[in-house]
Amino acid sequence: MTKLKNVRLVIANLLLKFHFTGIFMIDICATNHAEVNCCCKERGFYMEKLNGEALRTIDEIVARHKNQAGPCIEMLHEVQNELGYIPFEAMEKIAEATGSSAAEVYGVVMFYAQFTTEPKGKHVINVCLGTACYVKGAQQLIDRVEKLTGAKVNRTSEDGLFSLDATRCLGACGLAPVCIIDGKYYGNALASSDFTNEIRRIVREEKKAGAKA
């Protein structure tokens, strides 16, 4: 039984590594992930190599938590806070420090909706696609946000300013449809203009800041 479990973990680790290194995509990616429009990024596979500072940050976080109880979640939270996402290198280091496999750490990352393996934009917009919000027009909100920000659903806009995430029920169904902009909740977001106006305001501010820079 243990042997079977080990074999399953080895296979899961290999699949995980291939997922991140793009080995399964050699036949479709002619750019070797080197160009801005690499098809892999389009498909949601984030390929950027981490710089030395990010790797040092991960090492410090792992060293700080490795002897505590339940260290994996603590480390993941801190890595996400520091880097904005959880790169594969962090999962490998956390796995090594906690005596688990990278596949097990990846399983934890996938289980909790607040963790992401892709860098987020400067502004994160969540649109709830739970049942109550969906029937009250959440899809129209997603279309609206895509138009205003240039970000596709569950992706980041090319300028890196906006991430648009579709989420599960946010626990405020009475206010459906519900959205969040940078942590602030907006209820009745289709009927009220607050939500759309706030996005327009941010777009304006960012354009102004870009023009000055």
Provide the binding-site residues for ligand FES, judged by CB under 6 A. 128, 130-133, 169-173, 176, 178
Helix (H) or strand (E) segment spanning residue 63: helix 52-65
Q: Cα–Cα distance between 211 and 192 in angstroms, integer?
A: 30
Pick 176 or 181: Cβ nearer ligand FES: 176
Angle (deg, nearest 10), helices 2-21 and 88-98: 150
Q: Which is nearer to ligand FES, 105 or 129 (CB)?
A: 129
CA distance linking residue 13 with residue 15, whole number of Å: 5
The 3-state DSSP class for residue 46 equals coil
User: In sequence order, what are the beta bridge partners of 155?
Assistant: 164
By beta-carbon proximity to ligand FES, the closer residue of 86 and 128 is 128
**How far is the first Cα of the chain from the last one, in angstroms, to the nearest whole number?**
61
| Shortest Å, Cβ 154 to ligand FES | 16
Instruction: Rank residues 61 and 170 by Cβ distance to ligand FES and give the closer one.
Output: 170
Q: How far is the CB of 133 from ligand FES (least distance, A)?
A: 3
Nearest-approach distance from CB 128 to ligand FES, in angstroms:
3
Distance, in Å, from the CA atom of 15 to the CA atom of 152, rounded to the nearest integer, reads 27
Work out whether strand 123-128 and strand 162-167 pair parallel, antiparallel, or are unpaired: parallel
What is the nearest approach in angstroms of ligand FES to the Cβ of residue 129?
8
For ligand FES, give the closer residue by CB, 22 or 177. Answer: 177
Residue 136 beta carbon to ligand FES: minimum distance, rounded to whole angstroms: 8
Spell out the residues 6+ positions from residue 97 whose beta carbon is closer than 8 angstroms to its own: 62, 63, 66, 71, 75
